Amino acid sequence: MTSTPPKDFQAAGVVIEGLRKSYGPIEVLKGIDLEVKPGQVVCLIGPSGSGKSTLLRCVNLLEQPNGGAIDVGGFDVTDPDVDVDKMRRHVGMVFQQFNLFPHLTVLENCTVAQLKVLKRSKAEADQVAQRNLEKVGLGKFASRYPAQLSGGQQQRVAIARALSMDPSLMLFDEPTSALDPETVGEVLSIMRNLARDGMTMLVVTHEMAFARDVADRVVFMDGGVVVEEGTSEEVIGNPQQPRTQDFLKRVL
């Protein structure tokens, strides 16, 4: 693996091999193998505490892995000499809590990293932000503040903000879990559009209908290991492992 991203970083895939992560004496990820091919959507499902968020956070080095390798589009994330800032520019992340800046407008939320990290001009950053706000159906909300928006709208801003950095890979960590039920659908619909447009996506979700319809692969984790992996028909429609069957009985 090399630490320089190839030219076609736009279509980045992810290859995770033997990923291990411990907090003190507790091993939370016990050797995870997982692949997201360029343009694919992989949904990661599993009970609370199984290590899903930790895995996602290792991919963009919000957590430092203790072992194994992670390659994002030919970029070796686990190389000790990796340029973390450079790598993170290619990886967008959307969290359960939207983490918008409350004192900035919707547009400014979507331009601040473009200005600071990508050193874009204000005119270009505004244009990119506006385009992405339109993509998530919030073109008319640019001058509002986050507190003036519903949870679903705020999460759509968070997605537009991530997209404004032109990521090659999007990580979603339970993006609809903190939302009122009536606004979940609007966020899932944006994610469906992104998937249709060919974005590479790794999505932690409890939305089984979304996983069933959109995921190219579904990975079921429990206790820090991948218990079962396959197409959504296989894993959700016809799970083979008792732990997967028990989990699905509880969430479906």
| 75 SS3 class | strand
Using an 8 Å Cβ cutoff, are 31 and 225 in contact?
yes
Q: How many whole angstroms from its chain centre is CA 160?
A: 13
- d(CA 69, CA 59) in angstroms, rounded, equals 10
Q: What amino acid occupies position 71?
A: D
- Find which of ligand ADP, Mg ion, none residue 51 binds, CB within 5 to 8 Å per kind: ligand ADP
From 9, 41, 50, 229, residue interacting with ligand ADP (rule: CB under 6 A)? 50
Q: Which is nearer to ligand ADP, 48 or 81 (CB)?
A: 48
Task: Find the binder of ligand ADP among 49, 139, 198, 237 (CB under 6 A).
Answer: 49
Does residue 243 belong to the site contacting ligand ADP (CB under 6 A)?
no
Residues 22-41 that bind ligand ADP (CB under 6 A): 23, 28
Site string for ligand ADP, 51-80 (x = CB under 6 A): xxxx--------------------------
If contact means CB under 5 to 8 A according to the sort of partner, which of ligand ADP, Mg ion, none does residue 28 touch? ligand ADP
Stretch that binds ligand ADP, among 1-9, 34-42, 47-55, 136-144 (CB under 6 A): 47-55
Q: Name the residue nearer to ligand ADP (CB basis): 53 or 114.
A: 53
Question: Residues in the site for Mg ion, rule: CB under 5 A?
Answer: 53
Residues 179 to 198 in contact with ligand ADP, rule: CB under 6 A: none
Query: How far is the CA of 174 from the CAs of 40, 93, 208, 210, 251, in angstroms?
Result: 18, 11, 12, 12, 14
| 45 strand-pairing partners | 220
Question: Cβ of residue 55: shortest distance to ligand ADP, in angstroms?
Answer: 7
| Closest chain position to Mg ion (CB) | 53
Cβ proximity to ligand ADP, 31 vs 39, nearer residue = 31
Residue 153 buriedness (CB in 10 A; 0-12 / 13-18 / 19+)? buried
Tell me the window of 10-18, 42-50, 83-91, 235-243 that interacts with ligand ADP (CB under 6 A). 42-50
Query: What does the DSSP assignment read for 6-44?
Result: PTTGGG--EEEEEEEEEETTEEEEEEEEEEE-TT-EEEE
With tokens 């693996």, the residue in question is 1
Beta bridge partners of 66: none
Q: Smallest gap, in angstroms, from Cβ of residue 219 to Mg ion?
A: 14
Q: Are the beta carbons of 105 and 144 closer than 8 angstroms?
A: yes
Instruction: Identify residue 116 by its one-letter amino acid code.
Output: K
Bridge partners for 203 per DSSP: 43, 172
Q: How far is the CB of 210 from ligand ADP (least distance, A)?
A: 17
Closest CB to ligand ADP among residues 48, 252: 48
Say how far apart CA 213 and CA 221 lie, in whole Å: 19
Q: Which spans of this chain sit near ligand ADP (rule: CB under 6 A)? A: 23, 28, 46, 48-54
